[in-house]
Amino acid sequence: MDRTQLTADRIRADVADVLSLDPRAVAEDVQLTDQGMDSIRLMTLVERWRDEGADIDLIDLAERPTVAQWVALLVP
């Protein structure tokens, strides 16, 4: 996968998966750490997306702690 294949829905679904939440429960503008994200879960997402070919930097995601910011960074 390259950046063009990540979608807002996919990002939200994968975040929900690692947080054991329904995707509708993942808020776009709330810091992910407030929703249960920790460094292990973040690394899980980064590795999942990298394994599929995405060019993603862990630090870039950590510095942008909301789904909305991740979508802005990763979805063209």
Q: Which residue has the tokens 């807002």?
A: 8
Which of the listed CATH numbers 3.30.70.1170, 1.10.1200.10, 3.80.10.10, 1.10.600.10 matches domain 3-74?
Answer: 1.10.1200.10
Q: What is the distance between the terminal CA atoms of the chain, rounded to a whole angstrom?
A: 13
**How many of the other CB atoms lie within 10 Å of CB of 56?**
19
What mean pLDDT, rounded, does the chain reach?
Answer: 91
Residue whose C-alpha is closest to residue 56's, from 41, 74, 38, 40: 74
Nearest to 44 by CA among 76, 7, 19, 72: 19
Per-residue pLDDT tens over the stretch 40-68: 999 999 999 998 888 889 999 999 999 99
The answer to whether the beta carbons of residues 4 and 71 sit under 8 Å apart is no
